Chain A
Amino acid sequence: MRKLIDLPDNAAGSQDLPVRERPSKGRSSKGVTGQSMKHESAEKHVTGKAVYVDDMPEYPNQLHVAVGGSQHAHARIKLMNLSAVRAAPGVEAVITVKDVPGHTDIGPVFPGDPVLVEEICEYVGQPIFAVAAKTFEQAKKAVALAEIEYEVLEKVLTVEQALEKKHFVRPTHQHKRGDSAKALAEAKYRLQGQQYVKGQEHFYLEGQVSSVMPTEDGGMMVYTSSQHPTEVQKLVAEVLNVSINKVQVEVRRMGGGFGGKETQAAPLACIAALLANKTGKPVKYRMSRHDDMVMTGKRHDFLNTYDVGVDEHGIIQGAEIMVAGKCGNSPDLSDAIVDRAMFHSDNAYYLNNATVTGHRCKTHTVSATAYRGFGGPQGMMVAELMMDDIARHVGEDPLTIRKRNLYGVKHDHIKTADGQVDERNETHYGQIVEHNVLPELIEQLEASSNYWQRREEIKAFNANSPFMKKGLALTPVKFGISFTVQFLNQAGALVHIYTDGSIHLNHGGTEMGQGLFLKVAQVVAEEFQVDLDTIQVSSTRTDKVPNTSPTAASSGSDLNGMAARDACLRIKEGLFKFASEHYGVAEDKVRLQSNHLVVTNDNGEEQWVPFADFVQQAYMGRVPLSSTGFYKTPKIHYDRETGKGRPFYYYANGAAVSEVLVDTLTGEYKVLRTDILHDVGRSLNPAIDIGQIEGAFVQGMGWLTTEELVWDNLGKLQSNGPATYKIPAVGDTPMDFRVKLLEDRPNGEETVYRSKAVGEPPFMLGIAVWSALRDAVSSISDYTISPPMNTPATPECVLNSVMAVREQMAEQMANTDAADA
């Protein structure tokens, strides 16, 4: 008979029979938290062995999907004839909304996203019908044979049009603190400004894909590339009209997500499931890059305006800010995204008396969606616009103005209503900025980047260089961590220990390259004090950990790390109780260390029992070796009625200094050097964190420089492929790139090992590049004019900025001449 386990000869704890080679005692375990371990899939990535959904073996009867989309931005379908599509070679099924057995709306939060259009099309490319054929090429060719007649309706394509018509997907929301109108009226200087910040295509290298297989219970097994398996599960169940437990969703890894697979993966899974349900065959829906770019959501464009009052030192007395997001045709996640833009329209600066208004504009374009930063970056842009403009107005260096306006930087002459020196630490939505590291962080970065000396060198360079001009800027980031929708701040995990001491870990988070599986495994290694390679993390599955939140809002390791830790603590409680009984010592005399159970007897002598042996003993002693874990974020609340609360558990911080060179004859530019100092609390894995920071910075820089979404005036996306939409390439990385983690600053809140979230915050460090470009252009006016510069600041946009400054200088000159005359 096969033995279930190998019992050690001496059940009391021999060290002679390690199941596998064990390190000797005294050495710390390899791969616990704080170590720069390699990505858990690194070797699989480099050998091509890492399996993505499209790499899974196909069944002989596998069908492939293509979808027919609307040709118009806003139109009524008058007539639809799909007979040629149905008759095309290889086609096995064609569905319209009439073929949906269950719900037809798959909006994630609010309704508004039909799985297939019933009558009214609201953006170019919106799915109307879907085809399953033997090959992808056959499906694609069949789609082109559809005959659809439209009645074209009046369309709204821009934020400006939507604002004018009050054409919104959700009601406007406002934050108010103090009396901004009074502060503006009484301020020494009052400045106004406006900017248009365009959106961004995610350009995850792996496009959207779902592969589904009908099950014997009338349900569906779904393999997808999604940040939100639970939502995919729920929506697939709803469109099929089956209970949620009939659908299983599995996500092993994504080839990038960046928010683009939070809600946008679900339509593919739903459509594939509908076709699989109809045909009884496995169905794969993988979008071509073109379809992915046209049919799925992107970052929101924002139109921002500010009206700010400052004193003679450039310190803000009050501000009125408007942020208006281009939400596209449906609410999707836009309510929370525009909220986050509002929450971050102060960035790191104390606005004092403030009114912040956020509009959710409805346009006949594809519904904008989550993208790294989730509205925060667009909100921050208005704060940084203000800082540069104030600096030029009062004639100070922008860094000086930024520092004076930071939260927590007190000025003796600025008092509250009751005459006290203002602490300057309350945001416009009532959250107190605690554990504020930014003033100190900026000071360190200012020194390490040699900001002031370089400022002088740059001024000298610019004075002598005829058309090549340099620019320099330091911009900070204060980013609120937590889902602003409170219930999402929960997570579950599942940990098993097997009888050979190996550990299996599942949690609700998904792996999209950010190293979440690794970080959570390091947490488990830390808790059990075992080597990381004894822990196996497997796919995220809805039947392992249910009812999960999306892996989003930078919350992956905060939430899932804590949930996994909770599971470990539960198992450990049983293990320690057992060890205490088994070895006849008090519970505080046993501990886990270096892959061993260490038992200290009354004489102070230690007995080291290999972890695997101890686990076998515990199994024989009938101790549970498996547990779920759960976590919910404490302290957070937000009242939408009053616009006040504490939406964020804590803030993550960082700052970047970028130096650029601009060719003022062509508008071309290059980032010469970037220094970053970023705060991740006590890092779970410095290499992973630095990877997140560098990648986020470059992605943020791309958003503000070369990545330009272009729609034509019919509402068609023109930048619909990598040939026309340019994400940063290898040469765009700053030539000199210095990234450091802020040291010795554990998180002031009780997060997992006092670490901080890192996914999104460094994205906004890219704003330093935009500000440096403005600085370089401003130099042609000897820093007297704050150049207009919408984003992305393409070479064209920069040249326009140069020309605008020259025109303004010519006007000033003409005015001066006129005055002299």
Chain B
Amino acid sequence: MRQKFDVITSTCVPLPLENVDTDQIIPARFLKSTDKEGFGENLFRDWRYNEDGSPRKDFVLNNPEYGGCILVAGKNFGSGSSREHAAWAIAGYGFRVVISSFFADIHKNNELNNFVLPVVVSETFLAELFDCIAANPKTEVEVNLPHQTVTNKETGNTESFEINGYKKHCLMNGLDDIDYLIQNKDKIEEWEQRNR
């Protein structure tokens, strides 16, 4: 999952619903695995499949018109449970970027920790992007992490997005937080000494 990040240009999968919670991204009954693999198969399980396991034709992941490694979702994406399995499912399915106007905190961190980039755009940019994708499913978006810009290639509209310098460095170089933390244990021990 530690794929280095640079510039990604891709078509999008639209999910124009608000408040998509992590129980929908991956239902609890699929959390019983003890490793990180295979969650992509059950991404959006109950929206994607009928009870008998047959695909639900009306769900976007089952519509061959749409594809690509960018998921575009309505505001407050990833609310609810802290389950990182939701990020593993999104990454496991093959998404590398999620675009929304608002993310829930814990899920946003979970995406970043799994080298999936959450990109926050304005409501206007998001609404226009949904319209473009509806009109032309082949609409492409360019996400440029070095420049911190996101561009709707259909309209040429560009916005910049926020990411702190540390996390940007991690994503671009395939580093994670534990690599950083275990390098400075002396600082942790100093803190413990001060706070006995």
Verify that A and B bind, or say they do not: no
Q: Which residues of B contact A (CB under 8 A)?
A: none
